[in-house]
Structure 1
């Protein structure tokens, strides 16, 4: 704090950390208490693969639908039993620090949500090193615009992202929909264990395949952009749920809470929730369970 009580950005807690501590803060697997780091990652991947295999075997779907011309610009659409264009859509962006993960192992929430009448869309994007952050953000916006054009009678598009995917979803608050020729019917945002200020990551090994400059990081940090942004075309009453796990790192906690506070200051209808006894990976793994509290919260928000 300076003499005026202003928290200067150059005094952000991460700037006082050693390189080793900063690295640890931004490696979510290092904070898992139920398993070792490698086993936690293997379990997370396996649960995602099995959920996707089950969804593709049991749900009506359109797979590998192109939303653009790029090889990686595909999405999967999973429909409820009662098919109608006038349904709510949940659009999910996977995590993996913008350099791993796939739509083909990310259909965690398909069964519980389609069973309740929600169409679920899992979006692929070009991860690093092929894709840059600017490209990924653009792909996220184009995938949403594509869905709005294809299903114009939807009852609302709800965006959900985990980890790096939460960052992409948060960036949609700043999207220039005029550029995309359509304004999507956005009705809710679910941000699960995300990163919203990318500057600290420039100084970690996570950045090796991303090649982010400081300018890249700042240009793609919704935390920094929202602090100075003009009002956006998303309805300010649109609910925003910011979630972090008890066993996420202190930096993930700080980022989530500060982003929530910024949303509130900017007039958004935001809610913050720390999930008890849950780590970075369990947040999304638990969405395979229809009775889990977060699954129910998402459904209640969609059908409120």
Structure 2
């Protein structure tokens, strides 16, 4: 695994440059319009699949899961939305279920409490609670509780990595994630997150000297901010160092938002990663 040649060490950046280096919305012209389009198309997807929406897995308002059934007794992908742990909602990402569902993969989308209402410790715990709940409900929903994988974008990529330790999870695909929270702790993003050094380190996959022996595909757009590309490359190298199953891929031309087109399309590269993950899981369990 190689670090992108144009990725600086965040420790040497000024506060202004660090903040700019993590601001995906400012870096991608028209990103607000893209997300508005996601909202519209996601509403259409939810209207097409209304049977299992807002399944409550915990006591907080956002502790809900949407389940979209593609086939009976099929594997299930749990998708975790992004927004730097302090923005967005599962409802805006329903459209991305289309790619995996075209291959007979059920898709569940999980909501979680946002910062500052919840600490990152709490958010990570909610994701694990949601996974446990989903596994318990899958037989009734028509899915196979023994074939659950996780995926997520941006902050959801980080939460995907933290979810790999859940025994119900068999593998993951993390998209444009954050795996070392220390630059986040020193940036404008920490105003709401409230990370101290201890919380940052215990929730940083890059800081862990071990991990689950499960396949994890890591991907990032080649046109993303250098600090984001470095996060993914460094974490891939970290997993390889400890002998954990990992793949690393940069998607040519993709920025932090257009990369999700590769999950929306049935033949998209991320959709193929998800399909290949489940195929690998099937082989290993046979």
Q: TM-score, normalised by structure 2?
A: 0.88
2:201 paired residue number: 218
Cα drift, residue 136 of structure 1: 0.4
Q: Is 1:95 the equivalent of 2:82? A: yes
16-25 or 148-157: which moved more? Answer: 148-157
Q: CA deviation at 1:109?
A: 2.1
In 2: Cα distance, 1:219 partner to 1:300 partner: 30
Separation in structure 2 between the aligned mates of residue 187 and residue 14 of structure 1, nearest angstrom: 33
> Aligned to 2:59, which of 47, 69, 79?
69
Mind listing any 5+ residue stretches in structure 2 that lack a counterpart?
1-7, 281-286
Number of the residue aligned with 2:277: 301
Range with greater deviation from structure 2 (251-260 or 108-117): 108-117
Greater CA deviation, 49-58 or 247-256? Answer: 49-58
Give the aligned partner of residue 276 of structure 1.
252
Count of aligned positions: 269
Residue aligned with 1:107, SS: helix
The answer to whether the 8 Å contact 1:91/1:160 transfers is yes
Alignment counterpart, residue 57 of structure 1, candidates 30, 47, 50: 47
Q: Secondary structure at the match of 1:296?
A: helix
Point out where structure 1 has 5 or more consecutive residues left out of the alignment: 1-11, 176-182
Matched with 1:168 is 159
Q: 1:46 aligns with which of 11, 36, 46?
A: 36
What is the rounded CA distance, in whole Å, between the counterparts of 2:49 and 2:188 in structure 1?
A: 39
- TM-score for both structures, normalised by structure 1: 0.83
CA distances 1:235-274 after superposition (whole Å, capped 9, x unpaired): x2x3211101111111111111110011112222210000
SS in 1 for 2:193: coil
1:21 maps to what in 2? 17
Structure 2 distance, partners of 1:190, 1:211, is 27
The alignment partner of 1:63 has SS state of coil
Say which is worse superposed, 69-78 or 288-297, in terms of deviation: 288-297
Could you tell me which of 112, 115, 118 is aligned with 2:102? 115
Q: Residue in 1 aligned with 2:150? A: 159
Aligned to 1:6: none
Q: Against the structure 1 CA distance between its residues 173 and 188, is the aligned structure 2 distance closer, same or farther, given a 3 Å change threshold?
A: closer
Moved more, 272-281 or 212-221: 212-221
Question: Would you say the 8 A contact 2:182–2:197 is kept in 1?
Answer: yes
Q: C-alpha deviations, 1:73-120, integer Å up to 9, x for none?
A: 11100011x3x2x21000000000001010111113212222321110
